[in-house]
Every structure is written in C-alpha cells, then in structure tokens.
Structure 1
Amino acid sequence: MPTAIPAAEPRLTPRQTARFLWLCIRVRYLFRRMERASLRVSRIGFDRAGGRLLYFAERWLACHEEVAELLRCEEPPEVEEVRRLFEACPNL
C-alpha cells in the first residue's frame, strides 16, 4: 500500500524573511496613509486631493504583489478588489 510522504513546505531564506517583514511594515504604513488621503478626498474632493490616494494605493498594491510572490500564494480579496478598480479605470 503506497503512502504519500509529506513534503516540507519551502522556507524563506533569512534575506527573504527580512524582506517580508519590511513589506509587512510598509503595507501597514501605506494603508494608514491611504486612510488619511481618503479622508482628505472626502473633505475637499477627488479632483483636488485624489493624487495622493492613487499614489499610496499604487505603492500598496505593489507591496502586496511582492508579498504574494515571496509567499507563493494569492493576494487577499481586498487587494484583488482594489486592483480591479484600477483596471476598470485605465486613465488613472
């Protein structure tokens, strides 16, 4: 009777682990900046303050993309939703 031997999950190197931790900190920082930029957009309008929100959102998406690549997994649903919004508006 053949049995499957469980294969070990691929581990991150110390350099990859450090990069992952840096990206986690960066994602949290960018999320906070996006929240503040969103509040500013709600106060003074997207035309006057939308650039900062888009700037931080693009950086946030790039960080999540790199994390997914490092961990070899899919992005969280909220990231996919934001990415779809960017794809729906190609002129941004």
Structure 2
Amino acid sequence: MGRRKGLLEEVLSRALHADDPELYTVIFRDMDSLREMGLPEFMVESEGFSRIPASRIVEIRRIGVTVYRRSTGGGEVRSGRAALCPSGIAGGP
C-alpha cells in the first residue's frame, strides 16, 4: 500500500491535472515576505520544488477563493471542500 497524499499534494495534483492551472495563485514565503504568482509560473520558478520547497507554500487560491491554507500554529492545514472538487460542488459528509 502506497503513501497517502497530503492535502497540499492533492490540491496541486488536481489543479495541474484535473483543472486549469491558470486559475490558481500560489502564495509562498520568500525570505521575510510573501510572494504571489500563478501556479504555472510557480512550477517553473520552483523547478519542481527544488528551489522553492512545498513547505514554503502558505496559501493556494482558485479564482480568488482560498482552497488551501497552512495554519500558523502547529503546521496543520485547513481547507474548504471546494479545493478537492474543481467544480466547487463537493459531495459526501
């Protein structure tokens, strides 16, 4: 049985492969400030997370709506169900 994807990996995977990556904005820590750029640009600049590790991603937005946010506390992540369903319609409990 393989390793289960984390929420950040799941959001990125769906954004890149099951939705339009141009709709997503990534906000990440860069030294003492936050930078914001489109997901396709981020993937190029991060060189597959070798230059900018995924651990520096603070938030991901889809058309201005936050779909992933890392909490400032114990590193836990919170997200809306819309992050897991590009159409914004999430089923189940």
TM-score normalised according to structure 2 size:
0.24
Which is greater in Rg? 1
Report the structure, 1 or 2, having the larger strand content. 2
Give the helix-richer structure, 1 or 2. Answer: 1
